[in-house]
Amino acid sequence: MGILVSVDPSRHARAPSQTFRVSGMIWEREQTMAKVTIRYTEYFTEAIQRMREDGLLLVTAGADGKANVMTIGWGAIGSIWGRPVFIVLVRPSRHTYSRLEEVGEFTVNVPPLELAAGVNLCGTVSGRDHDKFQEARLTPVASRQVRPPIIQECVVHYECRILHKNDVAPGALVQAILDDAYAQGDFHRLYFGEVVAAYADQDAAHRLSAAAAGAFPMARP
């Protein structure tokens, strides 16, 4: 019999229990892996690479306190106005958009490769009519500094407070991008979030190493 690993996120929000079944034997261990503070640039390469692969998970919370999660494939980490900033681009049609307008804070979470199916789900259905945390088996956990939660199963976390927002200006955009990205309008709003906390699993480097190995490949012919 192979090794079966199941995680029951409903039991322990901060330290999920893992059940291992090996050759008919079952035992449990508490996942004690702590999340440690990092420099916001520490996993830059890995975060950008994961964003270009499956996407990252953007978590927001409305004035009603309800959290929502959606997948993002576009964004940037950098230094603006002398501050660490994570920029996310959100179309007005997203449920996430109204949440960001109500509560000017968000978290960005870097998923490990094995969460690919859940990340896809969060990018294809809306929080208006789905509880994506439940459907994608993701565990919301209280953030350190902001109201929207982080996602326990992710590996790197950025907590952000919005400093500035700005809509894509059709008149200032090259035609090729207008044609590719905005045939239906729905122009993104850019949210510039100051990174007020950044932390990661202790084994983040290992868990994201497969992602980093393929980072920024040369264009194929």
Q: Which residues bind ligand FMN (CB under 6 A)?
A: 55, 68, 70-74, 89-91, 94-96, 120, 123-128
Least spacing, CB of residue 70 vs ligand FMN, in Å: 4
Q: Which two tokens stand for residue 28?
A: 């449990």
Q: How far apart are CA 37 and CA 42, in angstroms?
A: 10
Structure token pair of residue 36: 């440690």
Closest approach of Cβ 13 to ligand FMN, in Å? 21
Q: Which of 135, 118, 134, 59 is nearest to 94 (CA)?
A: 59
The residue among 28 and 92 lying less far from ligand FMN, judged by its C-beta, is: 92
Residue 36 CA from chain centroid, whole number? 17
Cβ nearer to ligand FMN, comparing 16 with 150: 150
DSSP β-ladder status, 56-61 and 75-80: unpaired
Residue nearest to ligand FMN (CB): 123
Closest CA to 105 of 64, 61, 68: 61
Closer residue to ligand FMN (CB): 90 or 208: 90
**Smallest gap, in angstroms, from Cβ of residue 144 to ligand FMN?**
23
Q: How far is the CB of 151 from ligand FMN (least distance, A)?
A: 14
